[in-house]
Structure 1
Amino acid sequence: MNIANPPFPDLLGRPDIEKLVNAFYERVQADELLGFIFNDVAKTHWESHLPRMYAFWETVLFRSGGYTGNPVAAHAKLVPQTEMGRTQFDRWLLLFRETVDSLFTGPNAEHIKNCAHDMANVLYSRINGVPDPRFDPARLTPEQRARYAKYRAEQPA
């Protein structure tokens, strides 16, 4: 690969977030494992859901999207209605990573994939009442260790 001219651009702003979110949720809706959860169980209202996801990911990546909400509560209410296990979260994460990789390359693309991985673990663990594997020191990647150390250093004493 030519590093000076990567095959895809990096995520640089809101238009890129919208492109990613739209492509990702097209894949989700068509997915045999996840599509029915969004379409039939949650009965997702896409006209309002997509702008919330733009704001969410823009907030995650650029700290500028103005997202407010409670993703844990939104996902937890689905647990009594359908399977929300590791298989579903792993598929969601696979589709997310594949979508990012099909459109973007660069530090922001890598960062948003890492954030999605962390978010999937948090949501899965909280709505299913299981320990979050990110906090098992034996399972942290070097990047996760560095991010956690930076986070801890920034917290007031």
Structure 2
Amino acid sequence: MTLSNSSLTDLHGRAEIEQLVNAFYEHVREDDVLGFIFTDIARTDWTAHLPRMYAFWETVLFRTGGYTGNPLAVHARLLPLTAMGRPQFDRWLLLFHRTVDAHFAGPNAEHIKNCASDMANVIHRRLSEAPVGATLTVQLTPEQQVRDAPLKADAV
């Protein structure tokens, strides 16, 4: 259940997406469960990663970010290096939802949380079913495809 804070505004464009992504990844970097995956395992280049995430979430929410890529394949490359199970995905979702709720309220805030949940669940399921070294693409259910059109397999 999401608590409503009437002083918060909704996500309206790129500026709010950047605010959300920056705040979220600050939490991720400090997190005991996820931080080392980004710093030590993936060795994330934040100057490159953050703009890609701005474009990704702007594409998800507003269909204007111009994101192209395959997040499932990126996550699959980490499988031999670290745990990518339900606990990690649940922690990612918890941090994402908490960050959205701390900064935004409204229909777009709720929608981005739903999109994040759908993506985390699809990626987790696909990773858990995949043979090591497989090339993976995201396959959404028909309902998810209608709701989240930019997340089609060849668009993600």
CA RMSD between the two structures: 2.4
Task: Give a deviation string over 1:4-62, Cα, whole Å, max 9, x none.
Answer: x8220000000000000000000000000000000000000000000000000000000
Query: 1-side partners of 2:107 and 2:145: how far apart?
Result: 17
Query: 2-side partners of 1:149 and 1:69: how far apart?
Result: 18
Query: 2-side partners of 1:149 and 1:125: how far apart?
Result: 15
Query: 2-side partners of 1:42 and 1:32: how far apart?
Result: 15
Gaps of 5+ in 1: 136-146
How far off is 1:96 after superposition?
0.1
Query: 2-side partners of 1:128 and 1:47: how far apart?
Result: 30
How far off is 1:128 after superposition?
1.4
Query: 1-side partners of 2:38 and 2:144: how far apart?
Result: 36
Mapping of residues 31-110 of structure 1, within 5 Å: 31-110=31-110
Query: 2-side partners of 1:128 and 1:58: how far apart?
Result: 28
How far off is 1:151 after superposition?
2.4
1:7–1:125 Cα change, 3 Å: same
TM-score normalised to the size of structure 1?
Answer: 0.81
Q: Structure 1 residue 22 and structure 2 residue 22: aligned?
A: yes
Where in structure 1 do 4 or more consecutive aligned residues deviate above 2 Å?
A: 149-152
Q: Which has the higher helix share?
A: 1
Query: 2-side partners of 1:59 and 1:17: how far apart?
Result: 10
Q: Structure 1 residue 129 and structure 2 residue 133: aligned?
A: no
1:56–1:85 Cα change, 3 Å: same
TM-score normalised to the size of structure 2?
Answer: 0.82
How far off is 1:149 after superposition?
8.5
Amino acid at match of 1:42: A
Percent pairwise identity:
64
Query: 2-side partners of 1:13 and 1:74: how far apart?
Result: 26
Tell which has more relative contact order, 1 or 2 (C-alpha 8 A, sep 6+). 2
Gaps of 5+ in 2: 131-139, 150-156
